[in-house]
Amino acid sequence: MDWADLCITTWLLVDYVCFFALTFLIGFFIALVFGPDSLGKEHELAMNLMSYLLFFAYYVFFESIWGRTPGKFVCGTKVVTDDGEAPSTGTILKRSLCRFIPFEPLSFFGQRGWHDSISKTRVVTVR
What would the pLDDT profile of 61-109 be if each residue is shown by its tens digit? 999 999 999 999 999 999 999 999 999 999 999 999 999 999 887 887 7
Handedness of CA 30, 73, 91, 16 (dihedral sign): negative
| Helix (H) or strand (E) segment spanning residue 122 | strand 121-125
Number of residues that this document lists for the chain:
127
DSSP string for 30-57: HHHHH-GGGGSGGGHHHHHHHHHHHHHH
Q: Is 101 left (phi over 0), alpha (psi -120 to 50) or beta?
A: beta
Q: Is the pLDDT of residue 1 over 70?
A: no
Residues 6+ apart with CB under 8 A from 99: 55, 56, 59, 115
| Helix (H) or strand (E) segment spanning residue 121 | strand 121-125
What would the pLDDT profile of 20-62 be if each residue is shown by its tens digit? 999 999 989 998 998 888 888 888 898 899 999 999 999 999 9
